[in-house]
A and B are shown apart, each in its own frame.
Chain A
Amino acid sequence: MSTATTAGAREHARAQGGTVVDCMPIVPATRLGENLTWAETIPGGGYASRRLARGTTLRLTDLHGDACVSVLLFNADEPWERLNVADTVKVLWQAYVGEGHLLLSDQGRVLASVTAGARDRSDTFCGTTTRAGNTERYGDGSAHGPSPAGRELFTLAAAKHGLTRRDLPPSISFFQGVRVGDDGTFTRLGPAGPGATVELRAEMPVTVLLANVPHPLDPREAYTCSPVEIRAWSGSPTAHTDPLWSRSPEGERAFANTADYLTARGIA
Chain B
Amino acid sequence: MTVSAAESPALTPGTIVLDQTVAARAPWSAIVRRGQVLTIVDLHGNQAVDCLIYRADDTAERYSAQDTLAAQGGIFLTTGSVLRSSEGRPLMTVVADEVGRHDTVGGACSRESNTLRYGHHTKHQHACVENFLAEGAKWGLGKRDLVSNINWYMNVPVDPDGSLGIVDGISAPGLRVALRAELDVLVLVSNCPQINNPCNGFDPTPVRMVVTSS
A241 at the interface (CB under 8 A from B): no
Residues of A contacting B87 in the complex (Cβ-Cβ under 8 angstroms): 130-132, 151
Contact of B88 among A87, A91, A132, A164 (CB under 8 A): A132
Residues of A contacting B23 in the complex (Cβ-Cβ under 8 angstroms): none
Of the 9-residue stretches A34-42, A55-63, A92-100, A195-203, which lies at the interface with chain B? A92-100
Q: Are B146 and A106 in contact (CB under 8 A)?
A: yes
Majority-rule SS of B interface residues? loop
Q: Are B74 and A185 in contact (CB under 8 A)?
A: yes
Residues of B contacting A183 in the complex (Cβ-Cβ under 8 angstroms): 74, 76
Q: How far is the CB of A222 from chain B (nearest CB, A)?
A: 19
A18 at the interface (CB under 8 A from B): no
Q: Are B110 and A95 in contact (CB under 8 A)?
A: no
Give complex CA distance A171, B65 in Å. Answer: 11
Give complex CA distance A127, B116 in Å. Answer: 24
Q: How far is the CB of A169 from chain B (nearest CB, A)?
A: 5
Question: Interface size for chain B: under 10, 10 to 19, 20 to 34, or 35 or more residues?
Answer: 35 or more
Q: Contacts A132-B87, A151-B86, A169-B148 given: A90-B106 contact, CB under 8 Å?
A: yes
Question: Interface size for chain A: under 10, 10 to 19, 20 to 34, or 35 or more residues?
Answer: 35 or more
Q: Are A80 and B144 in contact (CB under 8 A)?
A: yes
Residues of B contacting A119 in the complex (Cβ-Cβ under 8 angstroms): 162
Residues of B contacting A29 in the complex (Cβ-Cβ under 8 angstroms): none
Q: Are B113 and A94 in contact (CB under 8 A)?
A: no
Q: Are B74 and A80 in contact (CB under 8 A)?
A: no
Question: Considering only CB atoms, which chain A residue lies closest to B62 in the complex?
Answer: A166
Give complex CA distance A175, B60 in Å. Answer: 29
Q: Which residues in window 138-171 of B have CB below 8 A to A?
A: 142-149, 156, 158, 160-166
Q: Are A108 and B64 in contact (CB under 8 A)?
A: no
Contact of A90 among B61, B69, B146, B164 (CB under 8 A): B164
Q: Are B164 and A89 in contact (CB under 8 A)?
A: yes
Q: Are A91 and B144 in contact (CB under 8 A)?
A: no
Q: Mark B115-147 against chain A: 1 for CB-CB distance below 8 A, else 0.
A: 111011000000001000000000000111111
Q: Are A126 and B70 in contact (CB under 8 A)?
A: yes
Give complex CA distance A64, B146 in Å. Answer: 36
B192 at the interface (CB under 8 A from A): no
A165 at the interface (CB under 8 A from B): yes
A224 at the interface (CB under 8 A from B): no
Q: Are B74 and A186 in contact (CB under 8 A)?
A: yes
Q: Are A90 and B70 in contact (CB under 8 A)?
A: no
Q: Are A130 and B88 in contact (CB under 8 A)?
A: yes
Residues of B contacting A170 in the complex (Cβ-Cβ under 8 angstroms): 64-66, 147-148
Q: Are B74 and A184 in contact (CB under 8 A)?
A: yes
Residues of A contacting B117 in the complex (Cβ-Cβ under 8 angstroms): 90-91, 250
Q: Are A95 and B116 in contact (CB under 8 A)?
A: no
Q: How far is the CB of B61 from chain A (nearest CB, A)?
A: 8
Question: Considering only CB atoms, which chain A residue lies closest to B146 in the complex?
Answer: A106
Q: Contacts A183-B74, A216-B70 given: A86-B86 contact, CB under 8 Å?
A: no
Residues of B contacting A94 in the complex (Cβ-Cβ under 8 angstroms): 162-164
Residues of A contacting B145 in the complex (Cβ-Cβ under 8 angstroms): 166
B208 at the interface (CB under 8 A from A): no
Question: Considering only CB atoms, which chain B residue lies closest to A181 in the complex?
Answer: B74
Contact of B164 among A95, A104, A216, A250 (CB under 8 A): A95
Give complex CA distance A259, B91 in Å. Answer: 40
Contacts A/B (CB < 8 Å), 21 sampled = A80-B144, A85-B66, A86-B105, A90-B106, A90-B113, A90-B165, A104-B113, A106-B110, A108-B112, A125-B70, A125-B105, A127-B64, A127-B65, A133-B88, A151-B86, A167-B144, A168-B86, A185-B73, A186-B69, A217-B70, A253-B119
